[in-house]
Amino acid sequence: MSVIDERGKRVITEREIKQVASGDILRIDEGALLTPLAQDAARERDVQIERVRRRSAARRKKIALAADHGGFEMKEELKRALADLGYEFQDFGAHSTDPVDYPDYAHTAARAVARGTCDLAIIIDGAGIGSCMVANKVPGVRAAMCYDSATARNSREHNGANALTLGGKMITSELMREIVEAWLSTELTEDRHRRRVAKIDAIEREYTKD
């Protein structure tokens, strides 16, 4: 018997059920919607549904997620990681591995942070570089491309990063989780760092004046 993890998905359809072998367990979020066809398929295939309650985060933040085709698979894994950590998230796509243009998706997630509809953004493309460039074009966004937990912590503690970009083809799933956990658990707290970040924001305003 195997356990298939689909936490992070709000709706479980017949498609997800048919990807699970007969007799296996499908683990989903406690509040996930199981469509009628999915319920029928689960009974027919003897798939056990295990609902899991999300852990509550100490400071609950809403995360904007986005990826191009190169980051799609890691984004789906990230959704499960965020569910484990108790974070709410909004998935801005892409929704498959079909080729798309990374600027479209990075822009949408970064804009959600700039507008305040999401607190932070995590954006994934093949290398993480292009999405970082795009996100930093959006006023109010400070995006950092991180490749280990040390750079993740530094980007938050020293630079007040509110967007994280990752290279889906450059890091493992395990390293992605380490980076994300470090990034989300670190805050900009010291006055000397706040002063320097304020200077970054002042430079941005100098170039975005009407």
Residues labelled as active-site residues: 158
144 touches 161 (CB < 8 A): yes
141 touches 110 (CB < 8 A): yes
180: Cβ contacts below 8 Å, ≥ 6 apart: 78, 81, 82, 122, 152, 164
Please state the separation of Cα 9 from the chain's center in Å. 12
| Whole-angstrom distance, CA of residue 51 vs CA of residue 181 | 23
End-to-end, the C-alpha distance of the chain in Å comes to: 62
* Helices marked H in the chain: 14-18, 36-45, 72-85, 102-115, 129-135, 149-157, 173-184, 191-208
Place of tokens 């706040």: 194
| Whole-angstrom distance, CA of residue 103 vs CA of residue 71 | 13
Nearest to 190 by CA among 154, 166, 163: 154
